[in-house]
């Protein structure tokens, strides 16, 4: 069985695609998995902020288009980049075991944050949550691959610190560069962060059946609940929504936080249910957050995004 696996060209994307390829070979030794490189809008434009690229789908749409054109059989994404609504004809076929979903700060620790400190991040969520912890930080937009961002923070090239996903650092053997792994109760992470998405065509039932063998049930339940929350809020991955999910004896607890872009207000709540009720857990949490005023905060975040797009 030959499988053409689409991936972006960054070191992290290649690691992730190769990891999924190895998982496939582990359950189907006869599988011949070949990487096919695809460029995304986010790869082609390294200067614009993420939300200026259109946010949702900036790193995934081209890969999905190659699937629909039958140029590849499967694409692997960082799940946090994947829109909650997939293109017609495509399915989230598998979610392998999730790595640590938390954020990592490099250059300083949270206790060392102070007004005027230059922190590089292109994430509206991270910016809002940082400002909530320390008003007066000098948040500077930064994008690009992991290593150059680390280098800028280490050498104080325009920034004193940066935030990255702990999972990405771990996958590249760079976790030692983190000054602190952030407690998700204090600094909730992005929806789907640390998880991988194996996306395929809905009609390819044999491939989907194979991919189900590499799926991790706990990871799938967590991300399904998180993505259901985002759908209920009608929020994209570029908006300031943070989550944390925990399992205990078959019960899933999903916590959510919506933070105003200026960091001056946040709304938090949680929903609990059986792990096989992930979608209902996410929708329930979304309803709770909306009742407390999350829509107003998300509208403010959207206005902030639109204003920055016109600069």
Which H or E element spans position 171? helix 166-171
Pick the CATH number of 216-311 from 3.30.160.40, 2.60.120.10, 3.40.50.300, 3.30.470.10: 3.30.160.40
> In 3D, which of 37, 96, 92 has the Cα closest to residue 63?
37
pLDDT at 94 over 50: yes
pLDDT, tens digit, 9 for 90 and up, residues 122-178: 999 999 999 999 999 999 999 888 999 999 999 999 999 999 999 999 999 999 999
As a whole number of angstroms, the distance between CA 109 and CA 131 comes to 15
**What is the predicted pLDDT for the residue at 296?**
93
CATH of domain 1-97+195-215: 3.40.190.10
* For the chain, domain boundaries: 1-97+195-215, 103-181, 216-311
What residues are annotated to the active site? Answer: 80-81, 125-126, 143, 149, 237
Which H or E element spans position 145? none
Average pLDDT, the chain: 92
Q: Give the pLDDT mean for 19-27.
A: 98
Q: Give the pLDDT mean for 240-260.
A: 96
Q: Give backbone dihedrals phi and psi of 140, rounded to 5 degrees, phi first.
A: -115, 130
pLDDT at 247 over 70: yes
As a whole number of angstroms, the distance between CA 83 and CA 297 comes to 21
């Amino acid at each position: 069985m030959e499988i053409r696996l689409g991936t972006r060209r960054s070191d992290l994307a290649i690691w992730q695609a190769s990891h999924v390829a190895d998982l496939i070979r582990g359950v189907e030794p006869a599988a011949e998995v070949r990487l096919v490189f695809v460029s995304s809008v986010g790869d082609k434009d390294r200067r614009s902020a993420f939300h200026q690229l259109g946010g949702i789908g900036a790193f995934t749409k081209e890969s999905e288009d190659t699937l629909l054109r039958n140029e590849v059989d499967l694409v692997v994404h960082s799940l946090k980049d994947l829109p909650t609504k997939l293109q017609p004809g495509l399915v989230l076929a598998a979610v392998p075991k999730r790595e640590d979903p938390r954020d990592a700060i490099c250059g300083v620790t949270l206790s060392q944050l102070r007004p005027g400190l230059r922190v590089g991040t292109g994430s509206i969520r991270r910016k809002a949550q940082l400002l909530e912890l320390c008003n007066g930080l000098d948040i500077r937009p930064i994008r690009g691959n992991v290593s150059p961002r680390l280098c800028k923070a280490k050498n104080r090239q325009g920034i004193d610190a940066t935030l990255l996903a702990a999972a990405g650092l771990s996958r590249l053997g760079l976790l030692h560069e983190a000054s602190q792994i952030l407690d998700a109760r204090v600094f909730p992470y992005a929806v789907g962060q640390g998880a991988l998405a194996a996306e395929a065509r809905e009609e390819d039932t044999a491939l989907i059946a194979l991919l189900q063998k590499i799926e991790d049930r706990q990871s799938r339940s967590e991300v399904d609940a998180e993505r259901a929350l985002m759908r209920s809020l009608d929020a994209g991955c570029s908006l300031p929504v943070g989550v944390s999910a925990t399992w205990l004896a078959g019960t899933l607890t999903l916590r959510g936080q919506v933070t105003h872009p200026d960091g001056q207000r946040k709304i938090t709540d949680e929903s609990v249910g059986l792990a096989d009720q992930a979608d209902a857990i996410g929708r329930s949490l979304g309803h709770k957050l909306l009742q407390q005023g999350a829509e107003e905060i998300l509208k403010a975040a959207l206005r902030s995004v639109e204003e920055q797009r016109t600069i």
